[in-house]
A and B are shown apart, each in its own frame.
Chain A
Amino acid sequence: MRDLWDGLPLIAQGLLTTAALLLPIVLIATVLLRGFHPWPLVRALLWRYRWANLMFVLLIAISSGMGIGLIAQERGLRVGTASAAEKFDLVVTAPGSELTMMLAAVYLQPSDVPLLDSAAYDRIAGHERVEIAAPIAFGDSFSGAPVVGTITDFVTYLSDGRIEGRLFQSTREAVIGAVVPLSIGDDFTPAHGEGDSAEHDAHHGFEIEIVGRMARTGSPWDRAILIPVETVWEVHGLANGHLPEEGDRIGPPFDPTHFPGTPAVIVRATELWANYALRSEFTVTGESMAFFPGTVLANLYRVMGDVRQAMSIMSIVTQVLVAASVLMGLYILTRLFQRQLSMLRALGAPRRFVISVVWGYGVGLLVSGTVLGLGVGFAAAALLSRVVTERTDILVSATIGWTEVTLALGFLSVTSLLSLIPALVVLTRSIVENLHK
């Protein structure tokens, strides 16, 4: 049975789950409404207590929407961070924390990291299974955008060759990420450091011209300014990786005697399978550390998985509290119109009809709240995605999926079942007593 379920397409699983969750509502509706037409009275009650009803609908919508939005956002964040790391198959750095190194090299989060020396770089760049060995040098910035030194092969690889203008060809040229607020042809002088502690005139007189712009990658590199790695070395007064007689040449190969070191090397293997061997080869105790950003993320997601579970439980607890409030509210509201309900009984309306009116009224509120809640969840996820994207430059696009729909329908199904309680309670009261209230 489990195999059969697992073998179904995701959409079929979603549709079947939806149908199963809606089944109790359909069954109750079929039993209660058979032969009756309570809707004019349901509409009358909805309209009579419209402001109270609106409050209930908003209460349901906001509580379920926030839960849905947060869960969708968490998933969107996972997808976004994974997607942003897609181009980083293997990263080699000096030994340390994989997470710190990944945040620095992949997500461009400022961090003091040790350098790999020329021997380590040569071993990586000279390996027969390595197609690209891109040294990364960071630590400078301009107007909040990190300035990262690298090589043209990596820029081409990162942007899939989608570059407006051209690649840099000298140490005084740069390519900018898609969202950097500069234009091709603009000049800038990088500041030393990033954020509030940046020294704006540390590299005074070192003008760099922007010659190209990468297409959007959905990663923090969209906010980065990419310059030749030689430029980074030069502005810091270091050797530029080449013999003095080579002049302004940029790109590999680098001369080992003039290689000042690099915080990280992004490696692309000739074949995907070779990455595992390379990771093993480039992990040398006390010298270098190779890791898959995807694996580091997977470990991170494992921790986040617990958070996700906690969020789901919190969301369910909130929903239960809201459901209890809604049922209490329904009970109070039914007391407000119990005279009319007793009048119906006095006129000869069967119990089932009166239950169908109260239940229809309650379910009307619950369905409206849940549908609106999905909308609120979608809006909350979109808003959070925008905020996270703006703050991290990781393209997060959270959408409402089957998980969220299932959560909302589960809430609807349970509360619809429970809203039979106020409907039944109404019938326990004396018709005559209610008529005289």
Chain B
Amino acid sequence: MPWADPMPLPLTVSGLMVQTRGGRQLLSVPELLLPAGALLGVRGPSGAGKSTFLHSLSGLLEAQGSVRWGETELIGLPSERRTMFRAQNMGLIFQDFLLFDELSPQANAGLASLFTRRAARPMVARRAADRLSHLGVPQGSRTVASFSGGERQRVAIARALATDPAILMADEPTASLDRTAADRFIDDLIALVRESCKTLIAVSHDLHLLERLDRVLTIEDGVLTDDSGART
């Protein structure tokens, strides 16, 4: 699995649809264009389809239509190729961090080094350590079990960025943090993404985060509209 410098990957979505097995529509995105390096926020009530949108764009869900990242058409790729695409191009941040409590922050942030090819392991580990250092996360032999929510989410950012992906996806990244920790997280995230010209798609209710992004879309009942209220 090569870990080349990230290529800027614009997003082109057309006719994206996700349905339940019973045929109920969960998400419909007729069209969406996002230039590489853009920061996109997605908001909407609970159950509106925000996470489904994020999962469709990352290839975690089976969907219909087209999700094209650069030259890669994600829908239609076999599951393992989509996984490989994520490994090479995407970093994911989850609401409740999903860290291994038994591991140190370095081991958690460098998780991808465990399944990357041997030659790339030191690079991933080094980048993970650099990100942790940049984010002010205490490093050492201590495990993350005793870390605060803010510290844990910073470890999660470092993990998402350890492979230097072109795209960062965040699903309610501040939902488990208090206001102070959330604000610090937002500062760190925006700074890192801006510095490294990455594309960010963040699903969130947090206005502090959404107001820092280039563009915010709203999902209601699985339908995406832009800030003007028009369908995308």
A40 at the interface (CB under 8 A from B): yes
Q: Are B111 and A347 in contact (CB under 8 A)?
A: yes
A44–B60 contact, CB under 8 A?
Answer: no
Are B55 and A353 touching (Cβ within 8 A)? Answer: no
Q: Are B114 and A351 in contact (CB under 8 A)?
A: no
A37→B111 CA distance, assembly (Å) = 10
List the B side residues contacting A345 at CB < 8 Å: 83
Residues on the A chain within 8 Å of B84, using CB: 348, 350
Chain B residues within 8 Å of chain A by Cβ, number? 31
B114 touching A432, Cβ below 8 Å: no
Q: Which residues of A contact B85 (CB under 8 A)?
A: 348
B102 with A346: CB separation less than 8 A: no
CA distance A432 to B163 in the complex (A): 22
Q: Which of A163-171, A274-282, A336-344, A414-422 contacts B (4 or more CB under 8 A)?
A: A336-344
- Please classify the interface of chain B as helix (H, G, I), strand (E, B), loop, or mixed, using the class held by over half of its residues: helix
If the complex has contacts A37-B121, A343-B94, A432-B55, are A350 and B101 also in contact, measured as CB distance less than 8 A? no
Chain B residues positioned under 8 Å from A344 (CB to CB): 111, 115
Is B24 an interface residue, CB under 8 A from the partner?
no
Q: A37-B113, A48-B101, A432-B60 are in contact. Are A347 and B86 (CB under 8 A)?
A: yes
- Cβ of A431 within 8 Å of any chain B Cβ, yes or no, is yes
Q: Is there contact, CB below 8 Å, between B101 and A349?
A: no
Determine which of B90, B101, B114 lies in contact with A38 in the assembled complex, contact meaning CB atoms within 8 Å.
B114
**Residues of chain A lying within 8 A (CB to CB) of residue B87:** 347-350
Find chain A residues with CB under 8 A from B94 CB.
343, 435
Interface centre among B86, B94, B111, B115 (most CB of A within 10 A): B115
Minimal beta-carbon separation of B156 from chain A (angstroms): 10
Known A36-B115, A37-B121: A339·B98 in contact at CB below 8 Å = yes
At the interface, yes or no: A35 with Cβ under 8 Å from chain B? yes
Interface size of A in residues (CB-CB distance below 8 Å) = 26
Whether, in the assembled complex, B218 has its beta carbon less than 8 Å from a beta carbon of chain A, the answer is no
A35 near B117 with CB under 8 A, answer: yes
Which chain B residues in 114-147 approach chain A with CB under 8 Å?
A: 114-115, 117-118, 121
User: CA–CA, A40 to B103, complex, Å?
Assistant: 8
Tell me whether A349 and B102 are in contact in the complex, defined as CB-CB below 8 angstroms, given that A40-B114, A344-B111 are known contacts.
no
Is the Cβ of A347 less than 8 Å from the Cβ of B114?
no
| Inter-subunit contact B115/A353 (CB<8 Å) | yes
Residues B98 and A48 in contact, CB atoms below 8 Å apart: no
Picked from A38, A48, A432, the residue with its CB within 8 Å of the CB of B102 is: A48
Instruction: Kindly provide the distance from the CB of B78 to the nearest chain A CB, expressed in whole angstroms.
Output: 11
- State the total of A-B contacts with C-beta under 8 angstroms: 74
CB distance from B3 to the nearest CB of A (A): 11
The answer to whether B88 has its CB under 8 Å from any CB of chain A is yes
A37 / chain B contacts, CB cutoff of 8 Å: 113-115, 121
Residues of B within 8 A of A432 (CB): 51, 55, 60-61
Q: Does A41 contact B (CB under 8 A)?
A: yes
Residue among B90, B92, B114, B117 making CB contact with A41, cutoff 8 Å? B114
Whether B211 is near chain A, meaning CB under 8 Å from some CB there, is no
Q: Answer yes or no: A43 CB below 8 A from chain B CBs.
A: yes
**Looking at the complex, which one of A38, A346, A351 makes contact with B58 (CB distance below 8 Å)?**
A346
Q: In the complex, what distance in Å separates the CA atom of A432 from the CA atom of B53? A: 12
Task: Determine if A47 is an interface residue (Cβ-Cβ < 8 Å).
Answer: yes
8 Å CB contacts to B: which residues of A20-54?
Answer: 35-38, 40-41, 43-44, 47-48
CB distance from A434 to the nearest CB of B (A): 10
Complex contacts, A41 vs chain B, CB 8 Å: 100, 114
B167 CB to nearest chain A CB (Å)? 12
CB pair A346 B115 closer than 8 Å: no
Tell me if B100 and A348 are in contact (CB < 8 A): no
* Contact status A346-B100, CB under 8 Å: no
Contact partners of A48 in chain B: CB under 8 A: 101-102
Q: Max chain A CB contacts within 10 Å: which of B83, B86, B88?
A: B83
Check if B200 is an interface residue, CB within 8 A of chain A: no
Q: How far is the CA of A45 from the CA of B132 in the complex (A)?
A: 24
CB-defined contacts of A35 to chain B, threshold 8 Å:
117-118
Is residue B80 within 8 Å, beta carbon to beta carbon, of the partner chain? yes
B112 within 8 A of A: yes
Q: Does B107 make an interface contact (CB < 8 A)? A: yes
* Bound complex: CA A432 to CA B61 (Å): 7
Q: Is the CB of B102 within 8 A of A43?
A: yes
Task: Evaluate contact between A44 and B83: CB separation under 8 angstroms.
Answer: no
Point out residues on B near A: beta carbons under 8 Å.
Answer: 51, 55, 58, 60-61, 80, 83-88, 90, 92, 94, 98, 100-103, 107, 111-115, 117-118, 121, 159, 163
30 contacts between A and B (CB under 8 A): A36-B115, A37-B114, A37-B115, A38-B115, A40-B103, A44-B100, A44-B103, A47-B102, A48-B102, A339-B98, A340-B100, A343-B94, A343-B98, A344-B111, A346-B92, A347-B86, A347-B92, A348-B83, A348-B85, A348-B88, A348-B90, A348-B163, A349-B87, A349-B114, A350-B87, A350-B115, A353-B115, A432-B61, A435-B60, A435-B98
Apart from A41-B114, A340-B98, list 14 A-B contacts with CB within 8 A.
A35-B117, A38-B114, A41-B100, A43-B102, A344-B111, A346-B92, A348-B84, A348-B85, A348-B112, A348-B115, A351-B83, A353-B114, A353-B115, A435-B60
